[in-house]
Structure 1
Protein backbone atom coordinates (compact mmCIF):
# COMPACT_ATOMS: atom_id res chain seq x y z
CA UNK A 1 0.00 0.00 0.00
CA UNK A 2 1.29 3.47 -0.83
CA UNK A 3 2.51 5.61 2.04
CA UNK A 4 -0.13 8.05 3.16
CA UNK A 5 -3.06 6.09 1.73
CA UNK A 6 -4.21 4.82 5.11
CA UNK A 7 -2.90 7.72 7.18
CA UNK A 8 -5.83 9.90 6.08
CA UNK A 9 -8.44 7.37 7.20
CA UNK A 10 -9.19 8.77 10.66
CA UNK A 11 -10.97 5.91 12.39
CA UNK A 12 -13.38 6.04 15.31
CA UNK A 13 -13.18 2.86 17.41
CA UNK A 14 -16.61 2.54 19.05
CA UNK A 15 -16.50 0.34 22.14
CA UNK A 16 -12.84 1.07 22.88
CA UNK A 17 -11.37 -0.58 25.95
CA UNK A 18 -8.01 -1.01 27.64
CA UNK A 19 -8.76 -4.72 28.12
CA UNK A 20 -6.05 -6.46 26.05
CA UNK A 21 -8.26 -9.52 25.47
CA UNK A 22 -10.93 -7.56 23.54
CA UNK A 23 -11.03 -7.14 19.76
CA UNK A 24 -11.46 -3.37 20.09
CA UNK A 25 -8.07 -3.30 21.84
CA UNK A 26 -6.49 -5.42 19.07
CA UNK A 27 -7.94 -3.06 16.48
CA UNK A 28 -6.41 -0.03 18.21
CA UNK A 29 -3.07 -1.82 18.33
CA UNK A 30 -3.17 -2.76 14.65
CA UNK A 31 -4.32 0.70 13.56
CA UNK A 32 -1.48 2.27 15.57
CA UNK A 33 1.02 -0.16 14.01
CA UNK A 34 -0.30 0.65 10.52
CA UNK A 35 -0.02 4.39 11.10
CA UNK A 36 -3.77 4.92 10.84
CA UNK A 37 -4.93 7.75 13.11
CA UNK A 38 -7.73 6.70 15.43
CA UNK A 39 -9.97 8.03 18.14
CA UNK A 40 -11.05 5.51 20.77
CA UNK A 41 -14.53 6.12 22.18
CA UNK A 42 -16.58 4.12 24.62
CA UNK A 43 -17.95 3.99 28.13
CA UNK A 44 -14.66 2.78 29.60
CA UNK A 45 -11.92 5.19 30.63
CA UNK A 46 -8.22 4.96 29.96
CA UNK A 47 -5.71 5.38 27.20
CA UNK A 48 -4.94 3.27 24.15
CA UNK A 49 -1.59 3.62 22.40
CA UNK A 50 -1.28 7.29 23.32
CA UNK A 51 -4.93 8.17 22.67
CA UNK A 52 -7.32 8.94 25.54
CA UNK A 53 -10.62 7.04 25.34
CA UNK A 54 -13.36 9.61 24.79
CA UNK A 55 -16.67 9.27 26.63
CA UNK A 56 -19.30 8.00 24.18
CA UNK A 57 -22.06 9.16 26.53
CA UNK A 58 -20.94 12.77 25.96
CA UNK A 59 -21.47 12.37 22.19
CA UNK A 60 -18.50 14.63 21.44
CA UNK A 61 -18.44 16.73 18.29
CA UNK A 62 -15.89 15.11 15.99
CA UNK A 63 -14.86 16.01 12.46
CA UNK A 64 -13.20 14.33 9.49
CA UNK A 65 -14.06 10.78 10.60
CA UNK A 66 -13.40 8.53 7.62
CA UNK A 67 -14.28 5.18 9.18
CA UNK A 68 -16.27 4.04 12.16
CA UNK A 69 -15.41 0.54 13.33
CA UNK A 70 -17.99 -0.93 15.69
CA UNK A 71 -17.26 -3.12 18.67
CA UNK A 72 -20.59 -2.83 20.48
CA UNK A 73 -23.39 -5.32 19.88
CA UNK A 74 -26.78 -4.46 18.41
CA UNK A 75 -28.46 -4.45 21.84
CA UNK A 76 -26.17 -1.57 22.88
CA UNK A 77 -26.25 0.43 19.63
CA UNK A 78 -29.70 2.07 19.58
CA UNK A 79 -28.73 5.04 21.75
CA UNK A 80 -25.75 5.86 19.52
CA UNK A 81 -27.02 5.27 15.97
CA UNK A 82 -28.13 8.84 15.20
CA UNK A 83 -25.02 10.29 16.84
CA UNK A 84 -22.67 8.05 14.84
CA UNK A 85 -24.50 8.80 11.58
CA UNK A 86 -24.30 12.54 12.37
CA UNK A 87 -20.49 12.24 12.26
CA UNK A 88 -20.89 11.63 8.50
CA UNK A 89 -18.21 8.95 8.08
CA UNK A 90 -17.47 7.55 4.65
CA UNK A 91 -17.98 4.03 5.96
CA UNK A 92 -19.01 2.00 8.96
CA UNK A 93 -17.43 -1.39 9.56
CA UNK A 94 -19.74 -3.77 11.39
CA UNK A 95 -17.32 -6.24 12.92
CA UNK A 96 -18.56 -9.79 13.64
CA UNK A 97 -21.30 -9.69 16.27
CA UNK A 98 -22.21 -6.04 15.65
CA UNK A 99 -24.44 -6.53 12.59
CA UNK A 100 -27.67 -4.53 12.82
CA UNK A 101 -30.11 -4.28 9.86
CA UNK A 102 -31.77 -1.12 11.25
CA UNK A 103 -28.40 0.62 11.61
CA UNK A 104 -27.36 -0.65 8.13
CA UNK A 105 -30.44 0.94 6.53
CA UNK A 106 -30.11 4.26 8.36
CA UNK A 107 -26.44 4.51 7.43
CA UNK A 108 -27.07 3.63 3.77
CA UNK A 109 -29.96 6.14 3.63
CA UNK A 110 -27.42 8.78 4.71
CA UNK A 111 -24.95 7.86 1.97
CA UNK A 112 -22.59 5.93 4.25
CA UNK A 113 -20.92 2.77 2.98
CA UNK A 114 -21.76 -0.21 5.18
CA UNK A 115 -19.36 -3.13 5.47
CA UNK A 116 -19.95 -6.39 7.27
CA UNK A 117 -16.29 -7.12 7.77
CA UNK A 118 -13.49 -7.46 10.28
CA UNK A 119 -11.18 -4.50 10.76
CA UNK A 120 -8.35 -6.83 11.80
CA UNK A 121 -8.67 -8.93 8.63
CA UNK A 122 -8.97 -5.82 6.46
CA UNK A 123 -5.74 -4.43 7.94
CA UNK A 124 -3.86 -7.70 7.63
CA UNK A 125 -4.84 -8.12 3.96
CA UNK A 126 -4.23 -4.46 2.97
CA UNK A 127 -7.94 -3.91 2.27
CA UNK A 128 -8.38 -1.18 4.86
Structure 2
Protein backbone atom coordinates (compact mmCIF):
# COMPACT_ATOMS: atom_id res chain seq x y z
CA UNK A 1 0.00 0.00 0.00
CA UNK A 2 1.33 3.41 -0.96
CA UNK A 3 1.41 5.86 1.94
CA UNK A 4 1.48 9.57 1.15
CA UNK A 5 4.20 10.96 3.38
CA UNK A 6 5.14 14.45 4.53
CA UNK A 7 8.86 14.84 5.23
CA UNK A 8 9.06 17.63 7.80
CA UNK A 9 12.51 19.14 8.15
CA UNK A 10 13.40 18.38 4.53
CA UNK A 11 16.89 19.40 3.39
CA UNK A 12 18.40 20.11 -0.02
CA UNK A 13 21.73 18.70 1.21
CA UNK A 14 22.26 15.19 -0.22
CA UNK A 15 24.02 13.93 2.93
CA UNK A 16 21.06 14.71 5.22
CA UNK A 17 18.77 11.88 6.32
CA UNK A 18 15.67 13.84 5.35
CA UNK A 19 17.04 14.12 1.80
CA UNK A 20 17.78 10.38 1.72
CA UNK A 21 14.26 9.70 3.00
CA UNK A 22 12.69 11.70 0.16
CA UNK A 23 14.74 9.73 -2.36
CA UNK A 24 13.98 6.34 -0.79
CA UNK A 25 10.27 7.08 -0.39
CA UNK A 26 10.23 7.94 -4.10
CA UNK A 27 12.10 4.72 -4.91
CA UNK A 28 9.39 2.78 -3.07
CA UNK A 29 6.67 4.70 -4.96
CA UNK A 30 5.24 6.46 -1.91
CA UNK A 31 3.88 9.92 -2.80
CA UNK A 32 5.98 12.55 -1.01
CA UNK A 33 5.39 16.10 0.15
CA UNK A 34 8.12 18.09 1.91
CA UNK A 35 8.48 21.13 4.16
CA UNK A 36 11.86 22.59 5.03
CA UNK A 37 13.75 25.82 5.64
CA UNK A 38 14.62 26.42 1.99
CA UNK A 39 12.65 26.08 -1.23
CA UNK A 40 14.06 23.63 -3.72
CA UNK A 41 13.53 20.28 -5.37
CA UNK A 42 14.76 16.86 -4.25
CA UNK A 43 14.05 13.81 -6.42
CA UNK A 44 11.28 15.71 -8.19
CA UNK A 45 9.65 16.74 -4.89
CA UNK A 46 9.15 20.46 -4.26
CA UNK A 47 10.21 21.52 -0.78
CA UNK A 48 7.82 24.13 0.61
CA UNK A 49 8.84 26.58 3.32
CA UNK A 50 5.31 27.22 4.57
CA UNK A 51 2.82 24.97 6.35
CA UNK A 52 0.68 23.87 3.42
CA UNK A 53 -2.66 22.11 3.90
CA UNK A 54 -1.66 18.87 2.20
CA UNK A 55 -4.49 16.42 1.57
CA UNK A 56 -4.55 12.72 2.49
CA UNK A 57 -1.25 12.58 4.39
CA UNK A 58 -0.87 9.07 5.80
CA UNK A 59 2.48 9.55 7.53
CA UNK A 60 4.50 12.51 8.78
CA UNK A 61 8.19 11.68 9.22
CA UNK A 62 10.04 14.15 11.43
CA UNK A 63 13.55 15.47 10.95
CA UNK A 64 13.27 18.32 13.47
CA UNK A 65 14.63 18.36 17.02
CA UNK A 66 12.01 18.50 19.80
CA UNK A 67 12.37 22.26 20.34
CA UNK A 68 11.82 23.00 16.63
CA UNK A 69 8.79 20.66 16.57
CA UNK A 70 6.76 22.87 18.93
CA UNK A 71 5.68 25.32 16.21
CA UNK A 72 4.39 22.37 14.15
CA UNK A 73 2.24 20.62 16.78
CA UNK A 74 -1.08 22.12 15.66
CA UNK A 75 -0.13 21.92 11.99
CA UNK A 76 0.66 18.20 12.15
CA UNK A 77 -2.50 17.40 14.10
CA UNK A 78 -4.53 19.42 11.56
CA UNK A 79 -3.26 17.20 8.72
CA UNK A 80 -4.85 14.20 10.47
CA UNK A 81 -2.13 11.72 9.57
CA UNK A 82 -2.50 8.10 10.65
CA UNK A 83 1.00 8.15 12.15
CA UNK A 84 4.02 10.29 12.92
CA UNK A 85 7.50 8.77 12.72
CA UNK A 86 10.03 10.17 15.18
CA UNK A 87 13.40 9.50 13.58
CA UNK A 88 16.54 9.26 15.76
CA UNK A 89 17.17 12.58 17.50
CA UNK A 90 13.54 13.71 17.24
CA UNK A 91 12.11 11.82 20.23
CA UNK A 92 9.59 13.99 22.08
CA UNK A 93 7.34 12.51 24.82
CA UNK A 94 5.38 15.79 25.12
CA UNK A 95 4.39 15.58 21.45
CA UNK A 96 3.68 11.81 21.71
CA UNK A 97 0.96 12.62 24.24
CA UNK A 98 -0.64 15.29 22.02
CA UNK A 99 -0.67 12.94 19.04
CA UNK A 100 -2.10 10.03 21.04
CA UNK A 101 -4.85 12.30 22.40
CA UNK A 102 -5.75 12.95 18.74
CA UNK A 103 -5.73 9.23 17.83
CA UNK A 104 -2.53 9.54 15.78
CA UNK A 105 -0.08 6.65 15.99
CA UNK A 106 3.38 7.44 17.36
CA UNK A 107 6.23 5.46 15.79
CA UNK A 108 9.70 5.97 17.28
CA UNK A 109 11.75 4.51 14.45
CA UNK A 110 13.92 5.30 11.46
CA UNK A 111 12.11 5.85 8.16
CA UNK A 112 15.10 4.55 6.20
CA UNK A 113 15.23 1.32 8.21
CA UNK A 114 11.45 0.84 7.98
CA UNK A 115 11.63 1.16 4.20
CA UNK A 116 14.67 -1.14 3.84
CA UNK A 117 13.06 -3.83 5.99
CA UNK A 118 9.61 -3.67 4.34
CA UNK A 119 8.00 -2.44 7.57
CA UNK A 120 6.95 0.96 6.25
Structure 1 alignment gaps of length 5 or more = none
1:32 maps to 2:26: yes
User: 1:97 matched to which residue of 2?
Assistant: 89
Q: Deviations over 1:32-75 (max 9, x none)?
A: 111111001111211011111011xx321111000000000001
- TM-score, length of structure 2 as denominator length: 0.97
Aligned residues: 120
Structure 2 alignment gaps of length 5 or more = none
- TM-score, length of structure 1 as denominator length: 0.91
1:113 maps to 2:95: no
1:10 maps to 2:4: yes
Q: Partners of 2:23 and 2:32 in 1: how far apart?
A: 10
Aligned counterpart in structure 2 of residue 43 of structure 1, from 37, 40, 44 = 37
Partner of 2:15, secondary structure, is coil
1:122 maps to 2:114: yes
Provide the aligned C-alpha RMSD in A. 0.8
Partner of 1:81, secondary structure, is helix
Q: Partners of 1:89 and 1:75 in 2: how far apart?
A: 21
